[in-house]
Amino acid sequence: MTVGAPAPAQAPLPDGTYPSTCWECGTVCGSLVTVQGGRVVRVGPNPAHPASKGAFCVKGILGAPGWRDAEQRLLHPLKRVGARGEGRWARISWDEALDLMADRLAAVRARWGPLAIVGAVSGAFFSRGLTVALLMRSLGSPNWMINQDLCGGCRAVSDRATGLDISRGEDIERTRCALVVGRNSAMADPAEWQALKRARARGARVIVIDPKRIPACDLADLWLRPRPGTDAALALAMIHVLITEGRYDHAFVARWTHGFPALAARAAQYPPEVAARLTGVPAEAIVRAARLYADGPATFVSGHGIDAFSAGVQTFRAFHCLVAISGNLDRPGGNRRVKRPRGFRTYLDVLHDPAFRLPVEVERLTIGADRFPLWAGPDGWQMACHNPSVIEAILTGHPYPVRAMYVSGVNIVVTYPDSTRTVQALRSLDFLAVATQMMTPTAALADLVLPKTTTLEEEEVSLNPAGPCVSYTRAVLPPRGEARTDLEIALGLVERLAARGALWRNLFAWRSQREFNEFLLGDSGITLGELAARGYAEFPYELGNFEAQPFRTPTGKVELWSTALERLGLDPLPDYVPPPYERRPAAERAAFPLVLLTGDREKAYHHSRFREQAWARRVSPHPELLVHPETAAALGIRDGDWVLVETPGASAACRLRAAVTDATPPGVVSTGMGWWWPEAPGPDHGAFDVNINAAMRYGAPWDPASGSADTRGLPCRVRSAGEGAPRLSTGSNGPP
């Protein structure tokens, strides 16, 4: 096969049911896909899958086939022939598309240098993310953007700074106590939700820490309802209880932790009575939660609710220290450290492999590495850019110009806060290419749109995040139209860039997705044949052998006192930082008296995807704002009213439909994200009307370790939309 050519046409699979893995969100559940007559007629759960154990959700059942077969699916490369965002396109061939992209990237590289080219993708959890990162590196650019600064980034930076290496790793099946913090498993993770229900049924205790009433509260022995953004004080108080009552693991702390006396002194500043004043949770409830958790084994189940703050790393550090001193690290029923088969490569392993890296002096030039080295640059988690700084670089040229971007599989106009500024940046680029399945608000601004495959058309091999097993996604159908995988696109492009002298080095050691997957399997002893037959492969692992699996920190121990943070001049101990709404000036708080939570998970959607599918719109037809009855009454708002939400300094307001409910406490309102109307006129398709990200800044204060911005706990005000409903830039002024 010629390098860069599309894969040979895939013959339709014989009729039958095939084990696979659903990739429609990050949960990665085992699936069974039934094919008849060259069509997928059913997608359902695989009860034999060792991680998901038969759990599944509607996104896999209806979303995956609906995504592939959607009437709106893009099937051919498109070149912009009108003004940017005008919506005038010409269909071109793949050769024309890749030649155009190579010409434009080579021109930008020649004029501005390789650092002026940036990639954007959701993250390195799929081959898509790794492919975009390697494409940028092949050009000589360290710059690529991921979504995790908004979701999971603070957890990952804390995990690395502390040395736990637990990622998710919740062993709910064997736990005696599940501590669920800021995580709505019922909406976000069907496997985790089913495991929680099984654990409760067999007598395990459940503690929920969340300002909102979520389904897990119905399982809970104890529900702690802190004021938004105060969770770190609660965790430090629990640590204090464990230490003062001698309920911590003395042997583990003495042998495998660094900085315990300093942590004890810090936690002593937050006895339950102090934490009660800060959090609004009664002191006796905090003590009870600590004692229930100490009577383990106990597992820490965490989510976005404590991640999306500019103090998110400190909050996670507090909980991670609680996990460590309680003796629940890498023991049955606790939190497992990441396990992998010997010889297997994860996507992150490849990212950090010296064979696929740029010179360190170039990596240090990654946008954001000077301020957030635990996020960006050679010491970063995924060595990705600081996204808001990329937007600034495009608009201001600081720290250096960014003039071209390649976006794959992510809708940054909708998923990044401050949509107006993101659009301004994209419009000002010399060249923008977007690989996508649908014409999204991001793709609508592109110079070139490339049709991408969907998960039913792709083969993937990865370490299951809930592990320990390797999961396999089968390409059960050939690509529709002329859709190509990310790797096929990249191989065709690097071939052309090399011919134009525009490569630093070709880092793609594979000529096909199959070769790449075999590279990941390496010397693990697991074969693609075995994976295809079962949809997964289990592997043996050992818990608690810290000598054989040392902690990846400078001290070789779990760092309660983080030397990585100390080296950067940051607080090496976890601490409480007042939430965003308390740090604002009094006048601003008076003008914006409510507290806004964002990122609510919705059953039918994953981020901005599936908005064009009829079944999803029936399940969740409108973007909602949850409002407590007392708050609604004070504002004169009724259930079902359309309201405007505004936050300080934002460039737009957002229109949402009020859902009056006691799920949120008085004074707190809550909503999801990722909304747009695919059927609305372009280019924004309603993204400036009904998407909460349009009504938030993407600016400082940043988390000093991860660079994450506040996207929860923001001061806001809410009023009836009435005649004040914002008009879309397209002139559309209402929901469909």
Please report the pLDDT score of residue 606 as a whole number: 81
User: Quick one: fold of 580-724?
Assistant: Barwin-like endoglucanases (2.40.40)
Q: Are 23 and 460 in contact (CB under 8 A)?
A: yes
- Residues in Cβ contact with 144 at an 8 Å cutoff, skipping those fewer than 6 apart: 118, 119, 120, 121, 132, 133, 136, 384, 385
Closest by CA to 133, choosing from 503, 345, 424, 384, is 384
- Which residues of the chain fall short of a pLDDT of 50? 1-2, 724-736
Q: pLDDT tens digits, residue range 478-528?
A: 999 999 999 999 999 999 999 999 999 999 999 999 999 999 999 999 999
Residues 42 and 33: beta-carbon distance below 8 Å: yes
Token pair belonging to 360? 């360190």
Are 78-152+341-538 and 166-337 in the same CATH fold? no
For CA atoms 399, 405, 410, 411, the dihedral sign is: positive
Asked if residues 253 and 325 have their Cβ atoms less than 8 Å apart, the reply is yes
What single-letter DSSP state applies at residue 195?
H
| Whole-angstrom distance, CA of residue 327 vs CA of residue 322 | 9
440-482 pLDDT, tens digit each: 999 999 999 999 999 999 999 999 887 789 999 999 999 999 9
Residues present in the chain in total: 736
User: What architecture is the 78-152+341-538 domain classified under in CATH?
Assistant: 3-Layer(aba) Sandwich (3.40)
What DSSP character marks residue 60?
A: I
| Amino acid, res. 491 | L
The secondary element (H helix, E strand) that includes residue 597 is strand 594-597
Rounded to an integer, what distance in angstroms lies between the CA atom of residue 104 and that of residue 345? 34
Query: Which DSSP string corresponds to 201-241?
Result: HTT-EEEEE-SS--GGGGT-SEEE-PPTT-HHHHHHHHHHH
Of 418, 387, 242, nearest to 323 by C-alpha is 242
Extents of the domains making up the chain:
78-152+341-538, 166-337, 580-724
Residue with tokens 């108080």: 237
Q: Which of 3.40.228.10, 3.30.230.10, 3.40.50.1860, 3.40.50.880 is the CATH number of 166-337?
A: 3.40.228.10
Strands 431-436 and 448-451: parallel
Per-residue pLDDT tens digits for 193-226? 999 999 999 999 999 999 999 999 999 999 999 9
The residue assigned the tokens 């001290």 is: 555
How far is 402 from 109, CA to CA, in rounded Å?
10
- The Cα 597–Cα 585 span in angstroms is 19
Q: Are 525 and 166 in contact (CB under 8 A)?
A: no
Q: Rounded to an integer, what distance in angstroms lies between the CA atom of residue 485 and that of residue 479?
A: 9
Distances (CA, A) of 479 to 11, 38, 72, 76, 703: 11, 12, 15, 11, 42
What pLDDT, on the 0 to 100 scale, is given for residue 330? Answer: 95
pLDDT, residue 726, reads 41
Residue with tokens 């979520």: 214
DSSP class per residue in 135-180:
HHHHHT---EE-GGGTTTHHHHHHHHHHT---SS-B-GGG-SEEEE
Give the burial class of 199: count Cβ atoms within 10 A of its Cβ; 0-12 exposed, 13-18 middle, 19 or more buried: buried
